[in-house]
């Protein structure tokens, strides 16, 4: 039966979502915000709704016309032949119009829905990119991706299936009920007696299905997390080195088996519900035929009226069951919007202020007053609380920690003159990497100021700050793209000749030329097709291509073997030549010839000077140096090539 199937399945979906919807409290003003969000599509939505209304009217008119056909041919009368043909042509015409309206509905539905998806996803993606680094360290990646996929699709449903469903069902229900009551109110009233027999058990089945579905989602999420961890390069290597493949397969198989069992149970519940729905609708139709036939035999109503009532009944149960859960449908869509808005309302910690100025471009010789001078003035910094940068729903916790952490930096002041190399050393947790992140404005200072080229980084445009500063981290990240694409990430308009020159300067040209696909070689996930030293040199080539005035090296050789470290240091010598450099080092061999070494401990600069001065002073630096090189110091080529 046409009308019941869609309504029944829609009802079951709503019942599954009912518990989740009830547990979510909507933010004030969500509905008004959704309406403002839909404003660009108001013309399309209006046309879409008109097609829905006309389609609903056609759906009610067709059974009535079918009844007129029956009345025209019973009893047979040759004079009614023309009338029957006209009615048949009208029915055929309505069918053609209905088909056209269906295509128009689908087109406008897709236009509205896909437009909303595009806008939502684009805004969320753009907003997430501007979130602070701590947001990503705290957030579950899967939960964040789900907002861009599942919740955005749920929001789309508000303007497609939910909106059209509500309007169509209301119009169809009103027209159908009105026509049925006008034809025979007794049969109409009796035909609705069986509706509670269908809805009440369905709700109980729905609650059971909700529990099953929830367990299925949780198991699927666990399996996805397991696959993501084990199928990543690092996870796959760990399993091969330490794991037991048989145990891994057995553990995964147990979860997959439970999902299989749940799928079978869910399928049987769904089929039982559908069969019950069809049975009740068929019984109601049988009631119409029986009671209507009795009336027709006694000439109370015509045979055509009985047929019309029976056909109209098929268009009554669907809308009734759908509208009985319209609140859940609407709330589900609003919850999806609310969860998307929740991310959009989380303010970025780093934002470009109105009237921001550009850091002036420096020359290759870096004259006095160029844009490469770096100044720290009484800088204090503490990491923001979880409540300031994250959402509980993205961390899978009940509440976020609002307790402020202790300062990581405490009154740090120093200057890096143009062309100088200043090194930051100290024990783990002293604040070295945090200091470098303040220069590139990954974080903003809590107190004090950081300036580049005489401009406070908070007053500079983000684009000019990115152009001025280049960073090489200890774990150089490469996207799963070609070598050329990874390098052009720093300079999108770079020519192949410029790329080869950068690779040459980074001491990695010969390696890339030896590859079968050269620059078009795909580096693999996180660049795992290359060794640590090779990845670092490709990352240095990226810096050379960018040609920044200030270079920050954050433990760039920390995890390399001696041979790779020597190759990377030769590449760094080219990258740092003539540039202002801030070097964070655990291996003191890389900073022996720095113009100035700053020793950090507990967020404070406790010592400063050259290598020889600090070793002679016998303080913390001297202790660190003697611990690492008690036998024979290793010379660094960083400055010797410059």
Tens of pLDDT, residues 247-260: 778 888 888 888 88
Residues 314/2, Cβ–Cβ less than 8 Å? yes
**Res 11: pLDDT:** 46
What are the tens digits of pLDDT across the range 555-572?
A: 766 656 666 667 677 777
CA 506 vs. chain centroid, Å, equals 35
Q: 99, 71, 64: which is closest to 182 by C-alpha? A: 64
For 600-641, the pLDDT digits (tens) are 988 899 989 988 888 888 888 888 888 776 544 444 444 433
Query: What is the Cα–Cα distance from 439 to 421, expressed in whole angstroms?
Result: 15
Least confident piece of the model among 1-15, 280-294, 322-336, 531-545: 1-15
pLDDT band at residue 368, thresholds of 50, 70 and 90? very low
> Rounded distance, CA 624 to CA 615, Å?
9
- pLDDT tier at 325, thresholds 50, 70, 90: low
User: Residue length, the chain?
Assistant: 642
Domains and CATH numbers, the chain: 2-344 (1.20.1560.10), 374-394+403-628 (3.40.50.300)
Instruction: Kindly calculate the radius of gyration of the chain based on its CA atoms and give it in whole angstroms.
Output: 35
Residue 7 has pLDDT above 50, yes or no: no
Q: What is the pTM of this model?
A: 0.69
Confidence of residue 327 (pLDDT cuts 50, 70, 90): low
Predicted pLDDT at 4:
42
What's residue 201's pLDDT?
Answer: 65
CA distance 187 to 289: 10
55: confidence class by pLDDT, cuts 50, 70, 90: confident
Q: Which residues contact 158 (CB under 8 A, 6 or more apart)?
A: 34, 330, 333, 334, 336, 337
Where are the strands (E) in 461-601, listed by range? Answer: 469-473, 550-554, 580-584, 596-601
pLDDT score of 594 more than 80: yes
Specify the pLDDT at position 324.
63
Residue 26 has pLDDT above 80, yes or no: no
Output 76 or 185, whichever has higher pLDDT. 185
* β-bridge partners, 470: 551
The residue among 4 and 34 whose pLDDT is bigger is: 34
pLDDT tens column, 96-145: 998 999 899 888 888 887 887 788 888 888 888 888 777 887 777 767 77
Decide which of 332 and 412 is more confident: 412
pLDDT tens-digit readout, 192-231: 777 676 666 666 666 666 667 666 766 776 676 677 667 7
Give percent above pLDDT 70 in the chain.
78
Q: Is 352 helix (H, G, I), strand (E, B) or coil?
A: coil
**Mean pLDDT, residues 43-60 taken together:** 87
Buried b / exposed e across 378-389, counting CB within 10 Å, b at 16+? ebebbbbebebb
DSSP for residue 519 = G
Q: What is the pLDDT of residue 14?
A: 46
* Segments in 396-495 forming alpha helices (H): 432-439, 462-468, 483-488
pLDDT band at 232 (very low <50, low <70, confident <90, very high): low
CA 361 to chain centre: 36
Asked whether residue 576 carries a pLDDT value surpassing 80, the answer given is no
Q: CA 292, CA 172: separation in Å to the nearest integer?
A: 22
Alpha helices in 158-232 (DSSP H): 163-183, 185-191, 195-231
Q: Which residues are 414's β-sheet partners?
A: 376
Q: What is the mean pLDDT of residues 339-361?
A: 83
Give yes or no for a contact between 522 and 481, defined as CB atoms under 8 angstroms apart: yes
pLDDT for the residue numbered 28: 63
Count the neighbouring beta carbons within 10 Å of the beta carbon of residue 95. 12
User: From CA 111, how far away is CA 218, in angstroms rounded?
Assistant: 33
Q: What percent of the chain has pLDDT over 90?
A: 8
Three-class secondary structure of residue 362 per DSSP: coil
Task: Give the pLDDT score at 119.
Answer: 82
Distance of alpha carbon 231 from alpha carbon 210, whole angstroms: 31
* pLDDT number for residue 380: 93
Q: Which residues contact 39 (CB under 8 A, 6 or more apart)?
A: none
pLDDT for the residue numbered 365: 40
Which 3 state secondary structure label does DSSP give 307? helix
Least confident of 7-11, 153-157, 481-485: 7-11
Q: Is the peptide bond before 629 cis (omega within 30 degrees of 0)?
A: no
Task: Specify the pLDDT at position 641.
Answer: 35
The pLDDT assigned to 634 comes to 44
At residue 536, the pLDDT reads: 82
Q: 455 - beta bridge partners?
A: 452
């Amino acid at each position: 039966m046409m009308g019941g199937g869609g309504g029944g399945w829609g009802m079951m979906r709503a019942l599954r979502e009912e518990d989740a919807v009830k547990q979510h409290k909507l933010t004030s003003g969500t509905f008004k915000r959704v309406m403002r969000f839909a404003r660009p599509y108001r013309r399309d939505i209006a046309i879409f709704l008109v097609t829905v209304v006309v389609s609903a009217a056609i759906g009610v008119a067709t059974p009535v016309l079918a009844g007129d056909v029956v009345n025209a041919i019973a009893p047979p009368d040759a004079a009614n032949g023309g009338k029957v043909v006209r009615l048949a042509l009208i029915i055929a015409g309505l069918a053609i119009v209905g088909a056209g309206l269906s295509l128009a509905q689908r087109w406008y539905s897709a236009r509205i829905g896909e437009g909303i998806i595009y806008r939502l996803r684009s805004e969320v993606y753009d907003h997430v990119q501007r979130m602070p680094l701590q947001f990503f360290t705290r957030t579950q990646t899967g939960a964040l991706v789900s907002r861009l996929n599942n919740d955005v699709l749920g929001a789309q449903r508000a303007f497609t299936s939910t909106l059209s469903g509500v309007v169509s069902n209301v119009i169809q229900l009103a027209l159908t009920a009105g026509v049925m009551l006008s034809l025979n109110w007794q049969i109409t009233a009796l035909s609705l007696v069986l509706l509670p027999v269908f809805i009440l058990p369905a709700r109980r089945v729905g609650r059971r299905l909700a529990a099953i579905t929830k367990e299925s989602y949780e198991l699927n999420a666990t399996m996805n997390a397991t696959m993501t961890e084990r199928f990543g390069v690092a996870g796959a290597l760990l399993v091969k080195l330490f794991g037991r493949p048989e145990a891994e397969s057995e553990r995964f198989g147990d979860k997959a088996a439970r999902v299989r069992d749940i799928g079978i149970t869910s399928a049987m519940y769904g089929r039982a519900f559908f069969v019950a729905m069809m049975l009740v609708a068929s019984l109601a139709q049988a009631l119409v035929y029986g009671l209507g036939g009795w009336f027709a035999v006694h000439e109370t109503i015509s045979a055509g009226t009985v047929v019309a009532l029976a056909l109209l009944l098929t268009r009554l149960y669907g809308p009734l069951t759908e509208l009985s859960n319209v609140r859940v449908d609407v709330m589900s869509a609003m919850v999806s919007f609310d969860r998307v808005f929740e991310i959009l309302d989380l303010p970025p910690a780093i934002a470009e202020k109105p009237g921001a100025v550009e850091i002036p471009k420096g020359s290759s010789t870096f004259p006095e007053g160029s844009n490469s001078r770096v100044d720290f003035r009484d800088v204090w910094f503490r990491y923001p609380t979880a409540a300031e940068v994250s959402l509980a729903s993205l961390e899978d916790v009940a509440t976020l920690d609002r307790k402020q952490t202790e300062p990581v930096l405490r009154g740090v002041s120093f200057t890096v003159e143009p062309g100088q190399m200043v090194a930051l050393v100290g024990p783990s947790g002293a604040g070295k990497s945090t200091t470098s992140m303040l220069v590139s404005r990954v974080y903003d200072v809590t107190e004090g100021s950081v300036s580049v080229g005489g401009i406070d980084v908070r007053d500079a445009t983000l684009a000019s700050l990115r152009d001025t500063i280049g960073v090489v981290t200890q774990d150089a990240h490469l996207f799963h793209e070609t070598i050329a694409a990874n390098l052009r990430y720093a300079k999108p308009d770079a020519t192949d000749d410029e790329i080869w020159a950068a690779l040459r300067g980074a001491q990695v040209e010969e390696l890339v030329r030896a590859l079968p696909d050269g620059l078009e070689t795909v580096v693999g996930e996180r660049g795992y097709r290359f060794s640590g030293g090779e990845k670092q040199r490709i990352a240095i080539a990226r810096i050379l291509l960018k040609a920044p005035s200030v270079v920050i090296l954050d433990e760039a050789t920390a995890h390399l073997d001696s041979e790779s470290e020597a190759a990377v240091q030769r590449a760094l010598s080219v990258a740092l030549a003539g540039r202002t450099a801030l070097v964070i080092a655990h291996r003191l061999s890389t900073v022996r010839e720095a113009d100035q070494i700053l020793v950090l401990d507990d967020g404070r600069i406790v010592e400063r000077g050259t290598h020889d001065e600090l070793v002679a002073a016998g303080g913390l630096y001297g202790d660190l140096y003697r611990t690492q090189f008690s036998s024979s110091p290793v010379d660094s080529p960083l400055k010797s090539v410059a």
